[in-house]
Amino acid sequence: MADPTSPSPYSENKRFEPKTKVELQAPKDDLISLEELAAHDGSNPDKPAYVAIKGTIFDVSKNSAYAQGGSYQVFAGKDPSRALATSSLKPEDCVPEWDDLDDKHKTVLDEWYTFFSKRYNVVGKVSPPQLQKL
């Protein structure tokens, strides 16, 4: 069994390093509602495009694949954790529920999280559902 105090093997894995160095800002922990996240779906060029993974929201605006008509726009404005874990581009799979996935798919999701964290700024966290109803 792996030592739980050891760093994640994904955070140290060089295969996730960007080809060119990316200067990232310090991560923000602002709470963003699902409604606000949905407004950042890549359809408005005046708004940044956001993608959440496991509740952490990344600004993916610098990648045109998340903009209107882009190959990954299906993920923009959502937490598509299940879709990323299962390598799906289906809109119905772009949901945040991933706890029930098998270990193989959870590993894939962790790899996607690491990939995003090395390329895109963290702009916040999805606010818990109980706070969104207030």
pLDDT digits (tens, 9 = 90+) for 38-75: 999 999 999 999 999 999 999 999 999 999 999 999 99
Task: Give the largest CA-CA distance in the chain.
Answer: 48
pLDDT at 6: 43
Write down the pLDDT at residue 131: 55
Q: Are strands 121-126 and 56-59 parallel, antiparallel or unpaired?
A: antiparallel
What confidence score (pLDDT) does residue 49 get? 98
Q: What pLDDT, on the 0 to 100 scale, is given for residue 23?
A: 86
For residue 99, the surrounding DSSP H or E stretch is: none
Range scoring the smallest mean pLDDT among 2-6, 29-33, 99-103: 2-6
Task: Quick: pLDDT tens for 96-131.
Answer: 999 999 999 999 999 999 999 999 999 999 998 755
Please give the pLDDT value at position 20.
77
- Write down all domains in the chain, each with its CATH number in brackets: 25-127 (3.10.120.10)
